[in-house]
Amino acid sequence: MIYLAQLRAQLERSFSPLACECTVDGQHSLTVKLYHPVSGRVDLVISALSLEALRTPEALAALVEELRFEMQSNPLQSSADPDLA
Protein backbone atom coordinates (compact mmCIF):
# COMPACT_ATOMS: atom_id res chain seq x y z
CA MET A 1 0.00 0.00 0.00
CA ILE A 2 1.23 3.49 -0.80
CA TYR A 3 1.61 5.68 2.27
CA LEU A 4 0.29 9.24 2.45
CA ALA A 5 3.79 10.74 2.47
CA GLN A 6 4.65 8.82 -0.71
CA LEU A 7 1.35 9.82 -2.30
CA ARG A 8 1.88 13.49 -1.46
CA ALA A 9 5.46 13.45 -2.73
CA GLN A 10 4.42 11.83 -6.02
CA LEU A 11 1.60 14.35 -6.51
CA GLU A 12 3.93 17.26 -5.78
CA ARG A 13 6.44 15.90 -8.33
CA SER A 14 3.66 15.49 -10.87
CA PHE A 15 2.13 18.94 -10.32
CA SER A 16 5.17 21.06 -9.50
CA PRO A 17 5.26 23.93 -8.54
CA LEU A 18 2.06 23.18 -6.61
CA ALA A 19 2.06 21.78 -3.09
CA CYS A 20 -0.22 18.94 -2.03
CA GLU A 21 -2.14 18.13 1.12
CA CYS A 22 -3.56 14.64 1.59
CA THR A 23 -5.93 13.85 4.43
CA VAL A 24 -7.83 10.71 5.37
CA ASP A 25 -11.07 10.71 7.31
CA GLY A 26 -12.30 8.04 9.71
CA GLN A 27 -13.85 6.03 6.89
CA HIS A 28 -10.57 5.75 4.93
CA SER A 29 -11.72 8.33 2.41
CA LEU A 30 -8.94 10.46 0.92
CA THR A 31 -9.05 14.18 0.17
CA VAL A 32 -6.36 15.70 -2.06
CA LYS A 33 -5.78 19.44 -2.19
CA LEU A 34 -3.38 20.97 -4.72
CA TYR A 35 -2.43 24.56 -3.95
CA HIS A 36 0.15 27.25 -4.60
CA PRO A 37 2.62 27.06 -1.68
CA VAL A 38 3.35 30.80 -1.53
CA SER A 39 -0.06 32.38 -2.07
CA GLY A 40 -2.11 29.51 -0.64
CA ARG A 41 -4.44 29.67 -3.64
CA VAL A 42 -6.21 26.34 -3.97
CA ASP A 43 -6.18 24.99 -7.51
CA LEU A 44 -8.01 21.71 -6.95
CA VAL A 45 -9.69 19.75 -4.17
CA ILE A 46 -10.90 16.22 -4.73
CA SER A 47 -12.69 14.40 -1.90
CA ALA A 48 -14.07 10.94 -1.22
CA LEU A 49 -11.30 9.06 -3.01
CA SER A 50 -10.98 5.43 -1.98
CA LEU A 51 -7.71 4.92 -0.15
CA GLU A 52 -8.06 1.19 -0.76
CA ALA A 53 -8.01 1.81 -4.52
CA LEU A 54 -4.56 3.45 -4.31
CA ARG A 55 -2.55 0.35 -3.47
CA THR A 56 -0.33 0.23 -6.54
CA PRO A 57 1.88 2.57 -8.56
CA GLU A 58 -0.49 2.05 -11.50
CA ALA A 59 -3.44 3.26 -9.44
CA LEU A 60 -1.45 6.32 -8.40
CA ALA A 61 -0.56 7.03 -12.04
CA ALA A 62 -4.27 6.82 -12.92
CA LEU A 63 -5.05 9.27 -10.10
CA VAL A 64 -2.45 11.71 -11.44
CA GLU A 65 -4.04 11.53 -14.89
CA GLU A 66 -7.50 12.08 -13.41
CA LEU A 67 -6.29 15.11 -11.47
CA ARG A 68 -4.59 16.52 -14.58
CA PHE A 69 -7.87 16.16 -16.47
CA GLU A 70 -9.79 17.89 -13.67
CA MET A 71 -7.31 20.78 -13.61
CA GLN A 72 -7.39 21.18 -17.38
CA SER A 73 -11.19 21.08 -17.35
CA ASN A 74 -11.35 23.92 -14.84
CA PRO A 75 -11.56 27.18 -16.83
CA LEU A 76 -10.46 29.24 -13.83
CA GLN A 77 -7.30 27.15 -13.41
CA SER A 78 -6.29 27.22 -17.05
CA SER A 79 -6.61 31.00 -17.25
CA ALA A 80 -4.96 31.58 -13.86
CA ASP A 81 -1.72 29.68 -14.49
CA PRO A 82 -0.91 28.76 -18.11
CA ASP A 83 2.32 27.01 -17.05
CA LEU A 84 0.29 24.18 -15.46
CA ALA A 85 -2.01 23.57 -18.42
In the chain, what are the domain boundaries? 4-70
Q: Catalogue the long-range contacts made by 47-55 (C-beta closer than 8 Å, 24 or more residues apart).
A: 51/24, 52/28, 54/1, 54/2, 54/7, 54/30, 55/1, 55/2
Tell me the per-residue pLDDT of 51-69, one tens digit each, with 9 for 90 and over. 888 888 899 899 999 999 9
Residue 75 has a pLDDT of 66
More confident of the two residues 49 and 4 = 49
pLDDT at 82 over 90: no
Which region, left, alpha or beta, applies to residue 40 given φ > 0 means left and ψ of -120 to 50 means alpha? left
